Amino acid sequence: MNKTILRGWNWCRRFRKRCGYGVHSPSDFFLITFVIYEKLPFYAYSQLHHLRRLVAHLPGHREKVDKLFFRLVNYLRPETIIEFGTGSGMTTRYMCEANSNMSIYTLSDDEFDSQVERLFITKKNIHHITGVSRDEIKEILKSHKPPTLFHIAHIGEYREVYEEIIDYISDEDCLIISYPYSDEEKKSWWKSVVDDKRTRVTFDLYDIGIVFFDKKRVKENRIVNFL
């Protein structure tokens, strides 16, 4: 099915999942209403918009989704971000602009792209690491400071990465999974993450899945129409 038609079809299917309708948890309602659906023009949007053309040839999210990453970081205020699969680097830059005091590790199996380097060159808190080994990943995970935002992005080994990081997850941490519906295999895996007893509250936005791990919360999956 054509991607545009598929997106339109899913928008219709999620029509009743707009603006926090039916959500009774105050914190979840706030996240949906004042973070996910926030429409204020934040200070960094204009500058970042003009940078997008530099890396338009590389894999990345729609601008609407990158802006949401900015708002999520602004809301969650993590000490550390660990991203698996850098892609175009635009999502990394949006997250960086939301909080300049945190450390960002973006790990990639690909060689440096000169345009991605240009995105990061002035941002001393972004550590772009390529060709990273499993031992190096473990060292980064051991040394991370919660609250941490984990981002499984442009990487084929998403199952292995998830199992790698889950042992280091704390109640304060958050995981964002990009493209949970990119194909049937990943869609099935995303469902297993939602059902996983180690996860608590999940938000299904189609372009991304957001996972929280606070064991005090009742297990819940919230579908949000963010298409």
Q: Can you spell out the DSSP letters for 34-57?
A: IIIS-----TTHHHHHHHGGGGTT
Quick one: average pLDDT of 36-49? 93
Over residues 132-141, the mean pLDDT reads: 83
- Annotate 131-148 with b (16+ C-beta within 10 A) or e (fewer): eeeeeebeebbeebeebb
Could you tell me the two tokens for 167? 């042992």
137-168 pLDDT, tens digit per residue, is: 888 888 888 899 999 999 999 999 999 999 99
Indicate the helix (H) or strand (E) that contains 149.
strand 148-152
Q: Which residues contact 6 (CB under 8 A, 6 or more apart)?
A: none
Cα separation, 159 vs 152, whole angstroms = 10
Nearest Cα to Cα of residue 73 among 159, 174, 222: 174
| Overall pTM > 0.85 | yes
- Mean pLDDT taken over the chain: 90
